[in-house]
Amino acid sequence: MSLAFSGHEVDLRRQELRRDGSRVHVEPQVFDLLLHLVRNRDRVVSKDELLDVVWNGRIVSEAALSSRINAARKAVGDDGDRQALIKTIHKRGFRFIADVTELPEAQAQARAPEASAATPAEAPLAERSSRPSVVVLPFANLSTEPDTDYFSYGLTEDVIRLLARHRWMDVLSRHTAVAFRGKEVDAREIGAAFGVRYLVHGSVAKRGDRVRLAADLVSAETGNQLWSETYDLALADVLDVQRAMAEQIAAAIEPELARLEREAAVRRPPVNLGAWDCYQRGLFHLWGFTSPGMAEAEAMFRRAIELDPGFARAHGALAYVLLQETVVGEHESREALLDEALRLSRSAVALDAQDCMNLCVLGRVHAFRHDYEEAIALLEQAVVLNPSFAQAHFALGCTMVWSGRSRDGIAHLGRAIELSPRDPHLSSFHAARALAHIQLRDFAEAVECARRATRVPNAKLWPHMMLVAALGLMGRIEEARRALPALLEKAPAYTLADARSDFFFCADEALVELCLEGLRRAGLKAPSPAGVEVQPGG
């Protein structure tokens, strides 16, 4: 469904604003504010209510609220003098005063810029694959206490808002599915009704000072349950719990959806692949972090860009592959790879500056080039755009460690682990924390983090290097020497010279020398050929 007014539409399915059929880029907070005003156009919305909705109750300045109101007015062609659409009600708040028409889904789809005249049955084979779509059903309130609907309502809204910030998927609004609230309906029926591939549903049960949450991801095509999780926690501050759980649920669901889409793309016949299928196949090959896999991923992403030059995520993904190739490839090619990665990641952000992944990749490229100030600014922006995006927390944490801010970095690395405990980068999450603790001279904790990293099935050389270095620095030389063969099994000819070269991303020379000293004590020796497959920071 879309909400139309004065030549504009707020598309609830795509979570976007359009003017005369063309997208209008607005910041997520501005979009949330505008949507809330439009939905509640029958009344005055107070400033406190907007703070709760847009900033989750956090204290912000009057200037911050005013800037978002001004941005919302500008986005819909209004201003503070005319107040033709958004009116300030003195000492009370704001009200959306334009006439609003609710457009049914079919009509909204027809007016969308990417809508095609062909029906799905008539579309060419290469065009049938489209972005995945998901509907979040209202979370059921199983609480025995009265007046607790607000919690399940707020949790549903927050999960939708956070999932919608992953711009590679379409997320329907809560209002779209409200008709199914409290009803036992087959997932396939709901999928057919809304034309979505996936459903998210769950329940909230509050008992005294504790709350139990359950969330499920279900295939709308087969009705099969794809993922399920429960959370049982103390209810110290209801808004903090609601916000944290929404972030946790969204962070768990997004990589599951991404994995399902990658695997589905690989199963499709390798003929007449569209840009989306090429992109997903590229991701499938990328996450193995092998040299052959990265070569295949690079080819798939280049093909996706060839098919759709405006596909922002394909530009960002190709930049990410090249970034990884600076780690696993020949050292002599690093500068050229970083230059191309910078160009591609800038293109990705230019095409879609509201995609947290694009900002994350651009931030990582700057970090690898030792431009830490710019990297941190971009990565902090990515975290603000999507606080449930584990990759942004990971990249920000790594950059802070590399630039000498390990205590700040550890907090973000820990958050990445909490948000995505089954992430393809999990080994690198722990290894980066080990490096941070080495910088802080907390070698015992570095050993523990490194051990966790080496236990992850897809662990590459880097976690083993952190473990050997930390044990060597602790003076546990026999243990370090026993750990060294596992490192050399990943790279038989590895030496101190290779290790020094593989720290190219880190400008903290004291930290590099400290790690090399730990490796030296463990018995790592003299130079050998380069070209080792290692994954610093993933």
Tens of pLDDT along 305-358? 998 888 888 999 999 999 999 988 777 889 999 999 999 999 999 988 888 889
Q: For residue 45, what is the DSSP state?
A: B
Per-residue tokens: 8 = 């504009």
**The tokens 């802070």 sit on which residue?**
400
Give pLDDT, residue 131. 65
Confidence at 537, pLDDT banded by 50, 70, 90: very low
For the residues 185-201, what does the mean pLDDT come to?
81
Go through 31-48 and write b for each residue having 16 or more CB atoms within 10 A of its CB, e for each that does not.
bbbbbbbbbebeeebeee
Burial (0-12, 13-18, 19+ Cβ within 10 Å), 430: buried
Q: What is the mean pLDDT of the chain?
A: 82
The pTM score is: 0.61
Measured in degrees and rounded to the nearest 5, phi and psi for residue 45 equal: -100, 125
Confidence at 128, pLDDT banded by 50, 70, 90: very low
Give pLDDT, residue 148. 63
Rounded (5°) CA angle 498-489-435: 55
Per-residue tokens: 472 = 């060597």
Confidence at 247, pLDDT banded by 50, 70, 90: confident
